[in-house]
Amino acid sequence: MTIHDVMTENPAFCAPSSSAQTAALVMQQKDTGILPVTADAFSRKLVGVVTDRDLCMAVLVRGRDPSHVWVQECMTRDLAACQPGEEVSAALRLMREHRVRRIPVVDEAGNLKGIVSLADLVRQRSISPAELFDTLEKICEPAPVKPSKPAVTLAA
Does any domain span residue 150? Answer: no
Does any domain span residue 22? Answer: yes
Does any domain span residue 155? Answer: no
Q: How many domains, the chain?
A: 1
CATH of residue 54: 3.10.580.10
Percent of the chain with pLDDT over 70: 92
Q: What is the pLDDT of residues 19-49, one digit of tens each?
A: 999 999 999 999 999 999 999 988 899 999 9
As a whole number, the mean pLDDT across the chain is 90
**HEC-encoded secondary structure of the chain:** CEHHHHCEECCCCECCCCEHHHHHHHHHHHCCCEEEEECCCCCCEEEEEEEHHHHHHHHHCCCCCHHHCEHHHHCECCCCCECCCCEHHHHHHHHHHHCCCEEEEECCCCEEEEEEEHHHHHCCCCCCHHHHHHHHHHHCCCCCCCCCCCCCCCCC
Q: What is the pLDDT of residues 115-148, one digit of tens each?
A: 999 989 888 877 888 888 888 889 888 877 665 5
